[in-house]
Amino acid sequence: MKKIYAYLLFSVLVLLANPMFAGNPDRQGEAGANQLLINPWVRSAGLHTMNTASTTGSEAMFLNVAGLSRINKTQIQLSHTRYLSGADININALGFAQRVGKGGTFGISLVAFDLGDFDYTTEDNPEGTGAVFSPSFFNMGVSYAHLFDNKVSVGVTTKFVSETISNARASAFAIDAGVQYVSGPQDNFKFGISLRNVGSKMRFSGEGLSKALPNPGPFTYNNTYYERSTAYELPSQLNIGMSYDWVLGRTSRLGFVANFTSNSFSRDQVGGGLEFSLGQNFALRAGYKAELDKSEGDLEATLDNGFAGGFSVSVPLKKDTKSRLSIDYAYRTTDIYNGIHNIGLRIDL
């Protein structure tokens, strides 16, 4: 019966995706909150976010929440990202995952963007008022995933998304859902599908949209008028991926991942990657992502198409236990600036 529920959720994801992704690249630029598409997690960044089928642990809450359930007991993860190195954009992320009951896992993720300081300008002071402000982009997710007999896992995430400046803000709620299927004599083959960022529209409001204008009547005083901003949608996304592992010796593996990403407000993407793991102590990753129908010098193309790579080093915290401390690093090439650097710390208990 539990497997039937998992397959039903899988079918619902496919049915929901069909009408949602009937758009085309002409809609590019119509969505907002595109920070939801920036991956702050290190291991999946090293594979260029192509591991929908094999992502696990707390970082799975970004790409495919079904992988959240594949942890030992408790996992804590910290990540720092230098986005477009040289642009002074930093991303900090915290992930926490905890097994609950038989097969269930509860997770929380927090992602905050540091965009730096900007000069405060007005119509009367286009060169600046001398004041500065710092935009705040923040999203928080609460997730639950369930593993059925180590073969099928399903998960759901509810996210709160916020964009704020000193005098205006916008917020929305979104839902992610995903399924992973594992098969083979040594769990070699994996398949995954995830639907991300399906939620309410965002609309800016606040004092920043107000304006004092002269009263149109005979009396000389100002009235305050509030402008209504246009609502915009979230960047919904469908991912379909697979992976296959070749077992090398007793503990080493070479894994291949492939992925197709359908974006509702931009071009589709395809890619793949390789991950070599030497037991639990070391892993090396490389990935490549391409945007379909991209032309040379296309100014509307995604910034981080191309190559990615990374590695992990892990050591046990105690002898004869599964508790481990891991350090992860990833780098992604970009068309402008000096790439994207990710570094993270993982604690598995």
Element (H, E) at 107: strand 104-114
User: What is the model's pLDDT at position 9?
Assistant: 53
Sequence-ordered list of residues with C-beta below 8 angstroms from that of 304, at least 6 positions apart, any chain = 48, 289, 332, 333, 334, 335, 340
Confidence category of residue 25, pLDDT binned at 50, 70, 90: low
pLDDT in tens, 38-88: 999 999 999 999 999 999 999 999 999 999 999 999 999 999 999 999 899
pLDDT in tens, 40-51: 999 999 999 999
User: What is the model's pLDDT at position 164?
Assistant: 93
Contact 45, 340 (CB under 8 A): yes
Give backbone dihedrals phi and psi of 87, rounded to 5 degrees, phi first. -95, 0
* Rounded Cα–Cα distance for residues 63 and 176 (Å): 9
Span 273-287, average pLDDT: 96
Span 233-252, average pLDDT: 93
* Rounded Cα–Cα distance for residues 57 and 51 (Å): 13
Domains belonging to the chain, first-starting first, are 2-348 (2.40.160.40)
User: What is the model's pLDDT at position 297?
Assistant: 62
* Rounded Cα–Cα distance for residues 23 and 314 (Å): 43
Whether residue 329 has pLDDT greater than 60: yes
Helix (H, G, I), strand (E, B) or coil at 220: coil
Element (H, E) at 156: strand 152-165
Helix (H, G, I), strand (E, B) or coil at 63: helix
User: What is the model's pLDDT at position 258?
Assistant: 97
Give backbone dihedrals phi and psi of 299, rounded to 5 degrees, phi first. -75, -15
Angle at 158 between CA 156 and CA 159, to 5 degrees: 135
